[in-house]
Chains A and B, each alone.
Chain A
C-alpha cells in the first residue's frame, strides 16, 4: 500500500507527514493524542544518511515532545549494499538509531512499528524490530533472503527448502512466519486507526517476542533456553 494511503487510514483525524527523499516524518492524531511518525518509502535501502536522519527524528521527539508515542512506518529492501556505506560504518549508524529508539522507550515513549510494504534484514533491525509493538499489513513482505539465494548459500536444494517451508516458519520469507515466531505482534487488517489505538494502549516495554513465539508454536526453543540459563547453578 502507498504510504499516504497508510497514513490516511492510520490517522483519519488528521496528520502532517512529509516525504523528503525516501524519508517520511511528521505527526498524526490518534485517539486525541498526537503521535510522531518516522518512516521510509520506495523500498529504500537504508544507508548512513537515512539511518542518521531517522535517529535525528527520534532525538527530536525525545527532546521536544516528552512521552509522545512514535510510530515507525517500515518499507525497506534492507541495508544499503555499498562499499562506501560499509567504509563509513553503517553498522554503527544502525546501532545508533536502535539506541535512540531504546532511549525513547526508556523515557516513556511508546513505540509502534508497521511494516506496510517490505522489511528486509538489516534495514528492519534498527527501527521496526526495536518497537514495543511491531505489526505488519498482511500483504507485507518480510524476509532475510529469498529461497533461491538461500539455496545457493546453504547448498540445500530449493525444492527441499520450499517443501520444508510449508510446515516450518523458521527460514522462509513471509509476514505470517514472523507472526508465528513472535517477531510480529499482529497482522493489521480493517480499521488501521483502531489497531493503532489498541497497540498504543497495550504497548509493553518489555520484550515479549519469545513468549509469543512459544505460545503461537512457531519458536519453541528460545524462551526455554533463556529460562534454562536463568535457572543454571
Chain B
C-alpha cells in the first residue's frame, strides 16, 4: 500500500507513519479545544484547532508527534494551535522520547490572531531548539498541499532535519505574497514551474536546505524518518559554523542567479530542464556530486 502523503489528511499521515495502532492522541477533538479568537470573529473553528498531537512509536521507538492539518485554514498557527505544538516539544524535554516528529503543513501565522500567532511561532522555534539542546532530535516532514511557509518555514529549519518530497514546498514568503507586494514581474505565483524551481523539494535538496528528499508515499516518508532517527542530532557550535560556511558560499556562488535553473547549471547539471521529469530514484542518483555543500 503506497498511499500519497500529499493527498492525505494530517490524521491519515499519523496513521500511515507510526506503527499500527500505536498512536495515542493528546487533547483530542472530543475535548473541543477550539480557538477563542476565531469564535470572536465569527469564523469557523475546528475541535483540534488544526493540529493533531500525541505519542506513538515508529519501528518500535517511542516518538511524540504534531501534525498540522492544511485543510483547516491552511495549517495556519494561532494561539491554541501553536501552544499544542509547544506542549509536545516541552513534554519531550521532560520525557525524552526517541524523537519528535513534526508533520508541517502551514502558511505561517494565522492572520485572524496575528499577534498571538507570531508569538506562538516564536515559542515553537525556541521549544524546538530546547528539545534539541536536551538531546531529543526534532524531525520535520514536508509534503502537503499547502507547503511550509511563513514563520513555520523558519521554525522547520531550526529542526534537526527536514524530510521533503518533490511536491513539498519550503520558503518564507509565499509566491502570492511577493506577487501582491512587488508585482507579477517579480514573481508570477501562477507559474507553477517557476514556483517549483524556487521553493520545490528538489531545489531545496540541491541547495542543502533539506537533507532528505523522498517519493510522495507514506512508506518513503516512514523509511526516511526511521533512517533520520538513527543519525541522531548534532547541536553544536561546530555544526552551526559549518552551516554558516554553507550559507555564505551559497550567497557568494548563487547570489547573482535569476532562476533556480541557473543555480543547477552552476552545480554542474548538464541538462537542468531534465530534473523536473526525473522520478525520485533517478534524481537521487543524478544528484550525486551536483549538490551544494
Spell out A's residues near B (CB within 8 Å).
48-49, 52, 55-56, 59, 62, 79, 81-96, 98-100, 102-103, 106-107, 121-122, 124-126, 129-130, 143-145, 150, 153-154, 156, 160, 164, 168-172, 177-178, 181-183, 207, 209-210, 213, 219-230, 232
Spell out B's residues near A (CB within 8 Å).
26-27, 33, 36-37, 40-41, 43, 53, 79-80, 82-84, 86-88, 90-91, 94, 109, 111-123, 125-127, 129-130, 133, 150-151, 153-158, 170-173, 175, 177-178, 181-182, 186-187, 197-199, 203-204, 207, 209, 237, 240-241, 243-244, 247-248, 250-251, 254-255, 257-260, 263
In the assembled complex, how far is the CB of residue A85 from the closest CB belonging to chain B, in whole angstroms?
8
Task: Establish whether residues B87 and A228, one from each chain, have CB atoms under 8 Å apart when the complex forms.
Answer: yes
In the assembled complex, how far is the CB of residue A195 from the closest CB belonging to chain B, in whole angstroms?
21
B contact residues around A209 at 8 Å (CB):
119, 122-123
Task: Establish whether residues A213 and B119, one from each chain, have CB atoms under 8 Å apart when the complex forms.
Answer: yes
Partner of B118, one of A121, A156, A223: A121
Task: Tell me the nearest residue of chain A to B177, going by C-beta.
Answer: A81
Q: In the bound complex, how far is the Cα of B151 from the Cα of A160, in angstroms?
A: 26
Task: Establish whether residues B115 and A229, one from each chain, have CB atoms under 8 Å apart when the complex forms.
Answer: no
Task: Establish whether residues B119 and A178, one from each chain, have CB atoms under 8 Å apart when the complex forms.
Answer: yes
Task: Tell me the nearest residue of chain A to B88, going by C-beta.
Answer: A229
Task: Establish whether residues A122 and B204, one from each chain, have CB atoms under 8 Å apart when the complex forms.
Answer: no
Q: Given contacts A129-B119, A156-B41, A183-B119, could you give 7 more A-B pairs where the C-beta distance is less than 8 Å?
A: A48-B247, A62-B237, A83-B186, A86-B199, A98-B125, A222-B123, A228-B27
Which of A56, A160, A229 is packed against the most chain B CB atoms within 10 Å?
A: A229
Task: Establish whether residues B127 and A87, one from each chain, have CB atoms under 8 Å apart when the complex forms.
Answer: no
Contacts between the two chains (Cβ within 8 Å), count: 245
Task: Tell me the nearest residue of chain A to B186, going by C-beta.
Answer: A83
Task: Establish whether residues B118 and A125, one from each chain, have CB atoms under 8 Å apart when the complex forms.
Answer: yes
Task: Establish whether residues A229 and B150, one from each chain, have CB atoms under 8 Å apart when the complex forms.
Answer: no
B contact residues around A150 at 8 Å (CB):
111, 114
In the assembled complex, how far is the CB of residue A128 from the closest CB belonging to chain B, in whole angstroms?
9
Partner of A219, one of B79, B126, B173, B241: B79
Partner of A93, one of B88, B117, B247: B247
Partner of B116, one of A49, A129, A222: A222
Q: In the bound complex, how far is the Cα of B246 from the Cα of A84, in angstroms?
A: 17
Partner of A171, one of B94, B115, B130, B187: B115
B contact residues around A168 at 8 Å (CB):
37, 40
Task: Establish whether residues A82 and B178, one from each chain, have CB atoms under 8 Å apart when the complex forms.
Answer: yes
Known: A82-B178, A121-B151. A221 touches B40 (CB 8 A): no
A contact residues around B247 at 8 Å (CB):
48, 52, 55, 92-93, 96
A contact residues around B129 at 8 Å (CB):
98-99, 102
B contact residues around A229 at 8 Å (CB):
26-27, 53, 83-84, 87-88, 90-91
B contact residues around A144 at 8 Å (CB):
109, 111, 114-115, 117-118
In the assembled complex, how far is the CB of residue B97 from the closest CB belonging to chain A, in whole angstroms?
13
B contact residues around A222 at 8 Å (CB):
79-80, 82-83, 86, 116, 119-120, 123
Task: Establish whether residues A178 and B257, one from each chain, have CB atoms under 8 Å apart when the complex forms.
Answer: no
B contact residues around A178 at 8 Å (CB):
115, 119
Partner of A207, one of B94, B126, B241: B126
